[in-house]
Structure formats: structure tokens, C-alpha cells
Amino acid sequence: MRSHTELIFHKSSYSQGTTENCVEVAEGLMTSVRDTQHRDLGTLTFTSAEWSALLAGICSD
């Protein structure tokens, strides 16, 4: 597994311009999420099943 510094994060294509009020996601064996305003505070990490459940819940609303 890659270390935190080797993860390749991306913002959603729905993010407008260069706004810093969003999260970034790095996907791989695990999915890592971080706040663009506080990248130095670390990440939340989810298994594939957890990430899929989160997205399914968001998309069903």
C-alpha cells in the first residue's frame, strides 16, 4: 500500500474552479479522503465496501 505522501488525490469534477472548500479523494485498495483546507491533518480511510456504501447512500437521496 502507498504511504500518505504517495497517494494521488483528486477533487470532484463538480468542484468549481480552484475553490479550497472541498475534499480530495485517492482511490486504490483503500479510499482516502482529506480536507483541502487542512491537508496536513491527515486522511480518513475507507474500505471498498464502506466507500461503495457511502456513495450508494448519497446517490439514493
Q: What does pTM read for this prediction?
A: 0.73
Q: What is the reported pLDDT for 12?
A: 77
Residue 11 belongs to what H/E stretch? strand 10-11
Of 58, 14, 48, nearest to 28 (Cα)?
Answer: 48
Strand partners, 46: 31
What are the residues whose beta carbons fall under 8 Å from the beta carbon of 61, sequence distance 6 or more?
Answer: none
Q: What is the mean pLDDT of each run of 10 residues along the chain (61 residues)?
A: 70 71 89 91 94 90 64
Q: Is 14 exposed, middle or buried (0-12, 13-18, 19+ CB in 10 A)?
A: exposed
Residue 33 dihedral angles phi and psi, to the nearest 5°: -130, 135
Q: What is the pLDDT of residue 30?
A: 93
